[in-house]
Amino acid sequence: MIMRPWLSALALFAAVLPAAAAGADGDDYAPVGDKQVIALDPNASYVILQTNSDSSMFSFGLTLLRRPTDADRADYVRRRGEALVKAREKWERRHKDWAGNVAAWDRARDGQRPKKRPVEPVEPTDANLAFAPIDRENMVQVGPFERFAKKDGRSTFVHKVKPGRYVFYGPIIFNANGAGGTCMCMGSIEFEVPEKTIVHAGMMRLNWMDERAKAKAEGRPVPKTDLDLPPEMNAVSWELPRAGASIDPRLASYKIVPAQMRAAGPFPNYFGVGVDRITAIPGVIGYQRDRIIAGN
């Protein structure tokens, strides 16, 4: 069963983590702020994303997952191997100390030793090594703050990113206590960001917000949560970018390419948040029960 979280509760999360990939160089990922005059780096890549809210009360971030390349995987394997070597060296020292403590504990008389025998430290292996998955290292948080623009019921984010293929992971927001939001684990979209290119990826629409506005205008009961949405509508929809669409006058002199969307998923729910899938998009993604249909 698809689980839809109470997306309005995300507005309660105030302390948001920096918008950058977890394991990335800070030079590769950076938001473009709301300044009167902007100057984008011609040698960098950027993604433009929008949401259907310009309210500071209901601001939502978008988490993207960059697909790792072969070079990324090779580097990850190297770093993970080095971390395992260091962990084993540390364990060997601790294990030696433990062996001495156990010998002393065994020699001591019952009334002169601690009640519990020293616990043997767990030997680190590749299976139990505390090392973030490669996907977790390649996540990029866009928004909800550091917006480029807010106007006409939408927020616009311009974010410098590393070239590559990006998957819309979901509307996730982070704070000191963890994460909240929705993982599009059961079906999402992905797109390419080429080198030295500005890509407009379209707009994430939180259907709960759209349906609230419609209900108020029509004088009918306002949906309180995502569970009150129509059966055919999931929590999140996506408005595809249109070629030549005006985004912001400050970007008028830049060439902006609309993203070519493709179906993506499923993928792991790394944060233990609610699970859903993006609402079907004609020509991009559809569903046959739990099966994802590309280009539907």
Q: Give the Cα separation of 285 and 279 in Å (integer).
A: 8
Q: What are the two backbone dihedrals, phi and then psi, of residue 270, each rounded to the nearest 5 degrees?
A: -70, -25
The mean pLDDT of 16-25, rounded to a whole number, is 42
The mean pLDDT of 76-105, rounded to a whole number, is 95
Q: Is 105 left (phi over 0), alpha (psi -120 to 50) or beta?
A: alpha
264 within 8 A of 65, measured Cβ to Cβ = no
Per-residue model confidence (pLDDT) at position 20: 45
The full set of domain ranges for the chain reads 7-67+138-294, 71-137
Q: How confident is the model at residue 121 (pLDDT cuts 50, 70, 90)?
A: very high
Q: Which tens digits make up the pLDDT trace of 51-65?
A: 887 665 455 688 999
R_g (Cα) of the chain, nearest Å: 24
| Nearest residue to 147 via CA among 237, 210, 55 | 55
Per-residue model confidence (pLDDT) at position 181: 85
Q: How far is the CA of 15 from the CAs of 32, 177, 273, in angstroms?
A: 20, 9, 17
- In terms of average pLDDT, the best of 144-148, 219-223, 244-248 is 144-148
Give ∠ CA 67-70-74 in degrees, rounded to 5.
115
Q: Which position has the higher pLDDT, 295 or 187? A: 187
Q: Reply yes or no on whether the pLDDT at 15 is more than 50.
A: no
Q: What is the mean pLDDT of the chain?
A: 84
Per-residue model confidence (pLDDT) at position 65: 94
State the first-to-last Cα distance of the chain, in angstroms, to the nearest integer: 22
Both tokens of 65, joined, read 């997952």
| H or E element that contains 288 | strand 285-288
Q: Which residues lie closer than 8 Å to 169 by C-beta, 6 or more apart?
A: 63, 64, 65, 139, 183, 184, 188, 267
Q: Give the Cα separation of 191 and 38 in Å (integer).
A: 25
Q: Reply yes or no on whether the pLDDT at 126 is more than 90.
A: yes
Pairing of strands 236-239, 262-264: unpaired
Q: Which position has the higher pLDDT, 198 or 153? A: 198
Q: Which tens digits make up the pLDDT trace of 148-196?
A: 998 888 889 999 999 999 999 999 877 777 788 889 999 999 999 999 9
